[in-house]
Chain A
Amino acid sequence: MEIIILGTVRGALYSLIAVGFVLVFSVGGILNLAHGTYYMLGAYLTFIFYSLLFHGGSSGILIVSAGLALVSVGLIAAVVYQVLLRPNIGSVTYVMVMTLALALFVGEVMALLFGVSGTSVPSFIEGSTRIGDVKVVNQQLLTVPIIVCVLPALWLFLRKTKMGRGIEAVAQQRVAAILMGVDADRALLVTYALSASMAASAGALIAPVSSVVPEMWLFPLIKAFAIAILGGMGSVVGAVIASFLMGYAEVFTSFLIGEHLSEMLALVVIALVLIIKPSGILGKMAR
């Protein structure tokens, strides 16, 4: 029971992070190693808007701050894409190195501005809920309804809007999509900004329950990686399924064998999956 509830909460958070990562890969064929950085910026900007701009206040102001943070991260990501990535978007190496360098840089800037010990913000909703005999902090539970809203919204966007369908077309058949008049470049720009905002929303959600520290970008990046690999690098549906599987598996193994070993186990599984079936367990063969 405990595993199911805690695993669901964790899975919801992971899917919020991983879906954007996978979407960018499938549309642009690039690995965005700054993905965790957008998650981190989501948390930091929520703090900046809430504490430094509005000087605190009710949870309404906090939610407004979080909303502002999402928009700002989306804008920042768009600028990063346009200025730093686009000139060399064809080189997988360049994009990986550049985004990783950015991740380091932003981490150091945050350390400089707010110190390494970190900061934090209050919860959107206080208290905790009892489900059966398991107690869950409300703030963490909040990720579940949010993901229930975000995923269908994303689905609608990709299926029903012109932009969204363009993005899907580029992901599936890049050349054909371009020949059909889809602006692949703009599709990637929108996808990149959108995925950054989603990561930032996860960061904003997590900010109240975990401390906001400069090295917090690494953890979500590794998770997004692992989920993307398990779910098949190009598959959004695969990523969602893998997120929840991973949530349950992690909660389960950390009950059994402790945190360090379970992380180690996860890494070994990732390496093995990559070597044996690079397209992912749930993914279709894509070369």
Chain B
Amino acid sequence: MKTDSLSSSWVSKQSPVGLAVLGAGFLFAFFSENYFYIEILMLAAVYGIFAMSWDILTGYTHEVNFGFALFVGGAGYLSGILNLRMGVSPWLTIPVGALAAGLAGVIIGYLTLRLKGPYFAMVTLAFASIVYKLAFILYDYTGGEEGISGLAPLTSDPRWDLLAVWSATAAVYVVLRTYAGSKHGHILKAIRADEDAAQSSGINTAYYKIEAFALSGFLGGIGGGLFAHSQMQVGPTMLSGYISIIVVLLAMIGGMGTIVGPLIGALVLSLLNEYLRVIEEYRIVVYSGLLILFIYLAPEGFANLGFVKKSRVLSSLILGERRVK
């Protein structure tokens, strides 16, 4: 009786492609002098953090969070305000903002426990819209339409900024892959398949759903804080439906429920978006048209395409899934 997959080691679950991409990013951050590309890669990495953090909730429970901007913008605003009004260093404001986003995750997770499918999606959308409106109502703190600018940068050198953002991306990736590969990820998949059966297996399903929500919020919040400080400003766009939708699209196209798919999807598509600047006028039309095309061609995402899952080589290279048989 083979029992390898019962006790497969941490190393054997890693995705070589995911690690290679992260490694390449580090090399670039160390050696590149091209500030234009550095900025672009930084933005792409932040989107990578968003897509991966979104994936740990939605990819593993299949309840679609359509209000991810709440975590991104909420944490971004909080860390921006703390930095600007109280002079707190970004290295402290980002974790504080992320903790707040994690707490928001706990609260929303608790409130939406019973909701499924479209109802869940709608309520997450509603919460994000409430916070979006708040950004305009609390004009004195948030700067309304204009947002707030003049935030302290992460470091004094964009290259070090990229290194910091990329390290965070790598850390988020490792944390989420480990989490997803642990009993926690396994339980989320069980809940996704059948919540009643998971409860009848003695699992406190409410706890695990809230935990995933909190983790998604916390890591998304880290991304939001990094976004704010690397751009040195926050505005209502960070809280808008646009961010929520883009995150959903990036992660879905990459391949939900794999972490590595959303990371690579977000990186590639963000870089593509920048590349399309050569046709500036048509950029957004072409970009959103391409996103529709990708979703249409691969509704489950590229990492979940049939031939990737079936091929032993590809599935182990990309997904880090070793076959036992």
Contact = CB atoms under 8 A, between A and B. Distances in A.
| Chain A–chain B contact at Cβ < 8 A | yes
B313 to A, nearest CB: 28
Interface in B35-85: 62, 64, 66
Contacts of B129: 222, 267
B117 A92 contact: yes
A264 B137 contact: yes
A229 B292 contact: no
Contacts of A98: 292, 295-296
B289 interface: yes
Given A261-B137, A263-B133, A278-B115, A271 B288 contact: no
B292 A105 contact: yes
B115 to A, nearest CB: 6
B268 interface: no
Q: Is the interface on chain A under 10, 10 to 19, 20 to 34, or 35 or more residues?
A: 35 or more
Nearest to B115: A278
Contacts of A267: 126, 129-130, 133
B291 to A, nearest CB: 6
Interface residues of B, number: 39
Contacts of B141: none
A271 B127 contact: yes
A260 B133 contact: yes
Interface stretch (B200-208, B215-223, B244-252): B244-252
Which has the most chain B C-beta neighbours within 10 Å: A84, A93, A96? A93
B122 interface: yes
Nearest to A275: B111
The dominant DSSP class at the A interface is: helix
B109 to A, nearest CB: 12
B292 A260 contact: no
Interface string B131-171: 00110110000000000000000000000000000000000
Contact of B119 (A87, A91, A222, A274): A274
B89 interface: no
Contacts of B133: 260, 263-264, 267
B288 A260 contact: no
Nearest to A229: B122
Interface in A68-103: 84, 87-88, 91-94, 96-98, 100-102
A268 B130 contact: yes
Interface string B110-125: 0110110111011101
A39 interface: no
Contacts of A96: 64, 66, 118, 121
Nearest to B118: A31
A251 interface: no
Contact of A275 (B62, B112, B130, B242): B112
B285 A108 contact: yes
Interface string B249-269: 100100000000000000000
A93 B64 contact: yes
B10 interface: no
Contacts of A100: 245, 248
Nearest to A226: B126
B299 interface: yes
A270 interface: yes
A1 interface: no
A284 to B, nearest CB: 15
Contact of A105 (B66, B118, B289): B289
B241 interface: yes
Nearest to B113: A275
B252 A274 contact: no
Which has the most chain A C-beta neighbours within 10 Å: B121, B122, B130? B122
Contacts of A93: 62, 64, 252
B281 interface: yes
A218 B244 CA distance: 14
Contacts of B134: 264
Given A105-B285, A264-B134, A278 B119 contact: yes
Which has the most chain A C-beta neighbours within 10 Å: B62, B118, B252? B118
Contact of B288 (A30, A31, A94, A105): A105
Contacts of A102: 292
Given A84-B296, A97-B248, A268-B130, 20 more contacts: A31-B118, A87-B296, A88-B299, A91-B299, A93-B64, A100-B248, A101-B291, A102-B292, A105-B285, A105-B289, A108-B285, A218-B241, A233-B118, A263-B133, A264-B134, A264-B137, A267-B126, A267-B130, A271-B130, A275-B111
10 contacts: A25-B118, A30-B118, A92-B117, A96-B66, A104-B242, A108-B285, A260-B137, A271-B127, A275-B115, A275-B123
